[in-house]
Amino acid sequence: MPDTFAHVATVAAAIEDHWPIAPKVGIILGSGLGGLADRIEEATAIDYADLPHFPQSTAIGHAGRLVCGALAGVSVIAMQGRFHLYEGHPADRVAFPVRVMNALGASVLVVSNAAGGINPQYQVGDIMVIDDHVNLMFRNPLVAENDPRLGPRWPDMCAPYDREFGDQALAIARRHDFVCHRGVYVGMLGPTYETRAEYRMVRRLGGDVVGMSTVPEVIVAAQLGMRVLGLSTVTNACCPDQLGETSGEEVVAAAASAADKLTTIVEGIVGEMAEPV
């Protein structure tokens, strides 16, 4: 088995060779949401291909690079493109970058995604603060031989998403007069979009949105004791009785159209972490 702890240290050292600053916040930008990286100042970009042991991103709308710098006066490291189980990566590799960001110094994780809206009150372009998730991927990144250096064997998952961050996100949306919900994200394996029966099942299980990411990363963040802000952009309405076809290109375009809302929330919350002058 690979030595994950050693690989994390190797990648962290490689990043420090390019950018010798400890980040406070790690950010994972999902499909169509990579534009937030353009707001990072004094940016240093590092291609995933230039990092040892680092997976490669193949999904639509994922640039495949780290962008390191300052956002709202706070040091951040952002993934402009993430990894998915449906790309063939095992769950521990999907979440591997979270371990790297934490090893560099990040104690906060902001994770975003594009998701289908199951809740009938949600509209395309709305933002949802993730309050909790349901793992229907049936994969867990912690399934492996136990290595106590990586964190506790049985991390608690009663509150993987930080309540205070969620409250702040909703308050920011109210101040800027756009819709922001709070609900449950359901993670599915993909890469197929769900059937009508699956959408009905997800709704009956308590889901408000459904997607193909986020869950593995948040599980590892919980193991590491990181505070997590999760944000979903509703990119398509999933009404089982009036279901139309969905394409990856349409999802990316819808996510990009709502990027300003996401940016407003993330900059607002990250800015609260800035040291007073």
- CA angle 265–235–269, rounded 5-degree value: 10
Query: Do 237 and 119 form a contact (C-beta atoms < 8 A)?
Result: no
Residue 21: Cβ-neighbour burial (10 angstroms; 0-12, 13-18, 19+): middle
Binding site for a purine D-ribonucleoside: what residues are annotated?
194, 236
d(CA 40, CA 36) in angstroms, rounded, equals 7
Query: Do 147 and 202 form a contact (C-beta atoms < 8 A)?
Result: no
Binding site for phosphate: what residues are annotated?
31, 62, 82-84, 114, 213
Q: Burial letters for 228-266: b for 16+ Cβ neighbours within 10 Å, e otherwise? A: bbbbbbbbbbbebeeeeebeeeebbebbbebbebbbbbb
Binding site: what residues are annotated?
31, 62, 82-84, 114, 194, 213, 236
d(CA 134, CA 145) in angstroms, rounded, equals 24
> Would you give the distance in Å from CA 27 to the centre of its chain?
7
d(CA 262, CA 177) in angstroms, rounded, equals 13
